């Protein structure tokens, strides 16, 4: 059980690392939306869209699902009947299938900076309009939604209004909180990450917000046991790896650490388990909504 959790934790670290590779030169979080090719068909709205990320897939689906002709496979949509009939151009960590994408005759392909660059470059050579995106802040989520709505010619306001409903009416919580995404090493997000920015939106005090370190993962820092004890947060959020079904695996790994029972959050029973999608990786709109709902429930109690 424990070894299974370690493998899942390593998967999280690898995902963060791959994302960090795309943002190594970016010092501050921003809404990075790079149009690699001009707006489709000389400013005409795109009608056939292929998406290479789960978040872009969900945004386009919510804006106008009839425009989606191809998507990347994702566990987030595995059991959703709404996505069942849409062709997959990739599954898991496998690169997108260029031939499948071209066969779908898209007039817009949306990729992710750092993940889709090679595929996007090949599509550029074929004169297929493309877009590279990156979401590390709430503002960049809104900017991306507005941009995609413009490209497919729909009104983004209903979706933007839905986003606002995720946030708390009163943002006056200042409970000191530490987010732990892995145990070996102890990895936590600072303010330059999606998780860090989301906590800031709720005015939850992220004890690692201003920390900088030598971690290769952009927006994340590694902590020693001594640093965790020094911070001694009032609440701890432990991230559940995507492949792990049992929360007990995660807690068992931390319970083995000598510092764990000395923490204020542990002693006061304020340790919360959050899904990877929504908190660390925005993943989908539903995942973001669930993370926000849990922040309200657990941290605003």
Does the CA dihedral 94-45-66-57 come out positive or negative?
A: positive
185 and 230 inside one domain: yes
> In the chain, what is the straight-line distance between the N-terminal and C-terminal CA atoms, in Å?
32
The phi, psi pair for 110, rounded to 5°, reads -110, 120
What's the average model confidence in pLDDT over 162-188? 88
Tell me which DSSP letter residue 112 carries: E
pLDDT confidence tier of residue 236, bands split at 50, 70 and 90: very high
Query: Residue 244 above 80 pLDDT?
Result: no
Hey, what are 248's tokens? Answer: 């007990």
Q: Is residue 152 part of a domain?
A: no
Q: Which residue has the higher pLDDT, 246 or 198?
A: 198
Residue whose pair of structure tokens reads 């290479």 in the numeric block: 52
Among candidate residues 134, 150, 178, the one where a domain is terminated: 134
Q: Does 147 have pLDDT greater than 90? A: yes
Q: Which of 89, 117, 134 is the last residue of a domain?
A: 134
Mapped onto helix, strand or coil, the DSSP state of residue 223 is strand
Tokens of 207: 């004890």
In a domain? residue 239: yes
User: How large is the angle between the packed helices 285-299 and 157-166, nearest 10 degrees?
Assistant: 30
Q: Could you tell me if 121 and 214 lie in one domain?
A: no
Spell out the residues 6+ positions from residue 251 whose beta carbon is closer than 8 angstroms to its own: 238, 271, 273
Regarding whether 41 and 121 lie in a shared domain, the answer is yes
* Full DSSP string of 41-90: HHHPPP-SEEESSHHHHHHHHHHHGGGEEEEE--GGGTT-GGGTTSPEEE
Q: Bigger pLDDT: 20 or 68?
A: 68
State whether 6 and 69 are in the same domain. Answer: no
Task: Please provide the average confidence, as pLDDT, over all residues in the chain.
Answer: 84
Which of 134, 160, 179 terminates a domain? The answer is: 134
Structure tokens at 114: 């750092």
Is 14 found in the same domain as 42?
A: no
DSSP state, 281? B
Domain hosting residue 106, numbered range: 32-134
Beta carbons of 215 and 188 less than 8 angstroms apart: no
- Kindly state whether residues 40 and 8 are assigned to the same domain: no
Q: How far apart are CA 245 and CA 240, in angstroms?
A: 8
Residue 118 maps to a domain: yes
Helix (H, G, I), strand (E, B) or coil at 10: helix
| CATH code: domain of residue 52 | 3.40.50.1980
Residues 38 and 12 in one domain: no
Identify whether residues 217 and 173 lie together within a single domain: yes
Give the pLDDT of residue 26: 30
pLDDT at 214: 65
| 145 inside domain | no
| Mean pLDDT, residues 182-189 | 90
Task: Determine the pLDDT at residue 265.
Answer: 96
Do 7 and 38 lie in one domain? The reply is no
Q: Is the pLDDT of residue 8 over 60?
A: no
* Percent share of the chain, pLDDT over 90: 66
Same domain, 182 and 75: no
Quick one: average pLDDT of 127-138?
A: 95
Residue 172 lies in a domain: yes
- Count of structural domains, the chain: 2
Q: Are 178 and 233 in contact (CB under 8 A)?
A: yes
Residue 27 lies in a domain: no
SS3 at position 273: strand
């Amino acid at each position: 059980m424990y070894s299974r959790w370690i493998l899942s934790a390593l998967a999280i670290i690898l995902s963060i690392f791959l994302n960090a590779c795309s943002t190594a030169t970016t010092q501050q979080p921003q809404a990075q939306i790079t149009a690699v090719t001009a707006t489709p068909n000389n400013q005409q709205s795109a009608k056939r869209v292929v998406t290479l990320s789960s978040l872009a897939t969900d945004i386009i689906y919510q804006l106008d699902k009839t425009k989606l002709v191809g998507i990347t496979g994702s566990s987030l949509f595995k059991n959703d009947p709404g996505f069942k009939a849409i062709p997959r151009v990739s599954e898991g960590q496998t690169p997108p299938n260029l031939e499948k994408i071209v066969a779908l005759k898209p007039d817009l392909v949306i990729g992710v900076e750092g993940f889709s660059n090679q595929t996007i470059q090949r599509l550029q050579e074929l004169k297929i309009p493309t877009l590279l995106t990156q979401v590390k802040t709430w503002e960049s989520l809104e900017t991306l939604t507005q941009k995609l709505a413009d490209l497919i010619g729909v009104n983004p306001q209903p979706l933007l209004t839905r986003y606002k409903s995720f946030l708390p009416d009163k943002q006056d919580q200042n409970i000191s909180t530490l987010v732990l995404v892995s145990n070996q090493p102890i990895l936590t997000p600072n303010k330059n990450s999606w998780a860090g920015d989301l906590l800031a939106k709720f005015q939850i005090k992220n004890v690692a917000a201003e920390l900088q370190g030598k971690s290769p993962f952009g927006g994340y820092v590694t902590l020693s046991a001594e640093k965790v004890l020094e911070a001694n947060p009032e609440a701890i959020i432990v991230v559940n790896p995507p492949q792990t079904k049992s929360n007990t695996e995660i807690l068992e790994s931390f319970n083995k650490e000598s510092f764990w029972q000395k923490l204020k959050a542990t002693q006061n029973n304020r340790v919360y388990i959050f899904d990877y999608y929504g908190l660390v990786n925005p993943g989908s709109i539903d995942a973001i909504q669930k993370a926000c709902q849990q922040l309200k429930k657990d941290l605003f109690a």
